[in-house]
Amino acid sequence: MLSHSQPRHLGDVRITRIEEFASDAFAPERLLPDWDLGTDRRHAAGLVPGSLNAAQDRVVISVHAWLVETGGRRILVDTGAGADKERPGKPLFHRRRDPFLERLLAAGAEPESIDTVLLTHLHTDHVGWNTRLAEGRWIPTFPRARYVMPRVELEAMTAAAPDSDRAALFRDSVEPVLDAGLAEFVGADGGEVAGGFRFHPTPGHSAGHMCIALDCGDAGKALFTGDLMHHPIQVYHPDWNSMFCERPDEARRSRVKVLDAVADTGTTLFTAHFAESSAGRVTRDGSGFAWRFL
């Protein structure tokens, strides 16, 4: 279900989606509990078949990372679900074996060539390839990279109960990065890191979730949205949260704030879970918003 990922160029910046997997495991109302097809057949029909199956009873989502190449540097934004991870409570992510590193190599980047990893937040499907299993232990997949993450996310993760899923995620996908001395942190207010990338606080999906922006000069801006949205229909209905949003009211406010800021500006959004090309732009549609894939 994944389409071929062609690099996108914003001026001298080259951005490539590194696919991990796509899934139609979710019914619309399971992923987005407020989904009401009866009131929005027009927008839903426009998302068939790439983002919604023909019967309109399954949404299509993608899990991937973004490789950004600029000024001789290689940066990954988020790292997907990872391989060999024990996720018994989350079957979609349990013991996966996707050829993610092979796809990264096909895009021209060896793991050792990645100099920075930027993490929008610390959930299962965004930090998995932070590490890989080698001789029975977890080691950083990108040994020469600085892993930059929101400090609030780390604090929430380390406060989790020792027997929780989040604690297990910390042990196999985050702690090895910390132990290797490769981690850097962004404060609650966000800020600029890694030569032009800027973290913007967008709490709601998780306590410290942030979108990441990059100014590409005359070519406009790129915005890596993380889990601000899971499906393009949320552009039309920003009040619709996913089932994974930990703070629903904050998530809605963050979503509207970002959509209002980027609409009709030419900013290219690089989403974390939209299928099809996963990239697009937001325009105004009356008092609301509309989405166009690129």
Query: Tokens for 186?
Result: 């962004």
pLDDT at residue 39, as a whole number? 67
Q: Which residue has the tokens 């290797």?
A: 180
C-alpha distances in angstroms, 292 versus 46, 172, 218? 10, 37, 21
Q: Is the peptide bond before 143 cis (omega within 30 degrees of 0)?
A: no
Q: Which residue has the tokens 């967008």?
A: 202
**Alpha-carbon gap, residue 140 to 149, rounded angstroms:** 15
Q: How far is CA 149 from the centre of its chain?
A: 13
Tens place of pLDDT for every residue, the chain, 294 residues? 344 478 999 999 999 999 999 999 999 999 999 998 776 778 888 999 999 999 899 999 999 999 999 999 999 999 999 999 999 999 999 999 999 999 999 999 999 999 999 999 999 999 999 999 999 999 999 999 999 999 999 999 999 899 899 999 999 999 999 999 999 999 999 999 977 999 999 999 999 999 999 999 999 999 999 999 999 999 999 999 999 999 999 999 999 999 999 999 999 999 999 999 999 999 999 999 999 999
Strands (E), the chain: 8-10, 13-26, 59-70, 73-77, 116-118, 131-134, 137-140, 146-150, 183-186, 191-193, 197-201, 210-215, 221-224, 268-270, 279-285, 288-293
Say if CB 141 and CB 110 are below 8 A apart: no
- pTM score of the predicted model: 0.96
Domains of the chain, first to last: 8-212 (3.60.15.10)
pLDDT at residue 38, as a whole number? 73
pLDDT at residue 1, as a whole number? 39
pLDDT at residue 45, as a whole number? 86
Length of the chain: 294
